[in-house]
Copies of this chain bind each other. A is one copy, B any other.
Amino acid sequence: MPVGTLATVKGVTPRQLKDADSQMILSNTYHLHLVPGEDIVKKAGGLHAFMNWQGPILTDSGGFQVFSLSELRTISEEGVTFKSPRDGRVINMTPEHSIGIQNALGADVIMAFDECPPYPASREAVQAATDRTYRWLKRCIVAHQRSDQALFGIVQGGTYLDLRQAAARQLVELDLPGYAIGGVSVGEPAEFIHSIVDATAPLLPKDKPRYLMGVGTYREMARAIAAGIDLFDCVIPTRLARHGAVLVQGERWNIKNAQYREDFRPLDDTCPCYACTDFSRAYLNHLIRAKELLGYTLLSIHNITELIRFTKHIRQSILNDTFTTEFAEWLTPTEPPNILHESPHDPA
């Protein structure tokens, strides 16, 4: 899922998103609550109508942002109190409030409000946050008002694999329509992600969507898919684009580099996206160097197309029963390029 924080995937039209074969997108409850506010989105007919995206949408619960972006928060059993970074007003976010906002936004999939402990944190602190997340999940289930929205639970437990596994078993008993593995990129080294996913994903039902939150680079996705994950979100494709970085067949290039100034080939002649079929590396180099909006749009289109193609190739290889051989290079535990560590959970 490309990330459309404020009801727009930055710099990309819904038509362009569809052309990139995006099946589903994510929007951020925390940000949409601040602007324009869920009331306006609801009056517009919900997120789909407001932003004119006809495909599925998932909203996160706001939990991650409350814990990572907000100032002056106090955490209690009731919920979290924080100061709006927009206007300084004090906002009280509870499980009921998060679900109320998500019901108003009207996404197809909504997420339970969770407590995301920082990394590193003591076993006791993580245990307490995980237990509270479970109690909050049960309040979310009670608060949830719309049968046309699927509420997913989130497995927490930090880097303590036994806590993750206990949380997963607890959640599965609630028979939810889908499950997410959360809080895996709040600062942990990349290798932790794979340990967490390997320990947790097999405990979640195979016949329901398993979603790894905030992850979306080649190696992380390939390895998580091998462990059973079906769904990802990540700001990487659009954020990289705004820094002039492009993903090409598993590599990351900086299109601003002088070597592309007179390179009149397409970014990737195997890629069907608009940036690759209609423009050259030299033109993209020029646009990004000149800080032209079109450059951000074209690189975003390409990066989204590229990562979706990557997962489509994996899907096909699974159907062909060639996944582990075709994608062997991505399934090794080699440390990947350090692009995951740019807070991929943050707004795009």
Chain multiplicity (copies): 2
Q: Which residue of B lies closest to A34 (CB)?
A: B290
Q: Which residue of B lies closest to A296 (CB)?
A: B293
Residues of A in contact (CB 8 Å), total: 38
Is B11 within 8 A of A293, CB to CB?
yes
Is A12 within 8 A of B294, CB to CB?
yes
Q: How far is the CA of A97 from the CA of B40 in the complex (A)?
A: 56
Instruction: Scan A277-304; emit 1 where CB is below 8 A from any B CB, else 0.
Output: 0111011011101101110111000000
Contact residues in B for A6 (Cβ distance below 8 Å): 286-287, 290, 292
Q: How far is the CA of A297 from the CA of B279 in the complex (A)?
A: 19
Instruction: Scan A253-289; emit 1 where CB is below 8 A from any B CB, else 0.
Output: 0000000011010000000001000111011011101
Is B289 within 8 A of A35, CB to CB?
yes
- Does A23 sit within 8 A of B, measured CB to CB? no
Is A264 within 8 A of B43, CB to CB?
yes
Contact residues in B for A159 (Cβ distance below 8 Å): none
Interface residues of A in 185-227 (CB under 8 A from B): none
- Does A333 sit within 8 A of B, measured CB to CB? no
Chain B interface: which of A44-52, A71-79, A145-153, A244-252? A44-52
Tell me whether A282 and B44 are in contact in the complex, defined as CB-CB below 8 angstroms, given that A11-B294, A287-B8 are known contacts.
yes
Q: How far is the CA of A40 from the CA of B15 in the complex (A)?
A: 32
- Does A239 sit within 8 A of B, measured CB to CB? no
Chain A residues in the interface with B (C-beta under 8 A)? 6-8, 10-15, 35-36, 40, 43-45, 50-52, 261-262, 264, 274, 278-280, 282-283, 285-287, 289-290, 292-294, 296-298
Beyond known contacts A36-B261, A36-B286: 16 more, CB 8 A cutoff: A7-B283, A7-B286, A8-B294, A10-B293, A11-B294, A11-B297, A12-B294, A13-B274, A13-B294, A13-B298, A35-B286, A36-B290, A44-B264, A50-B280, A50-B283, A293-B297
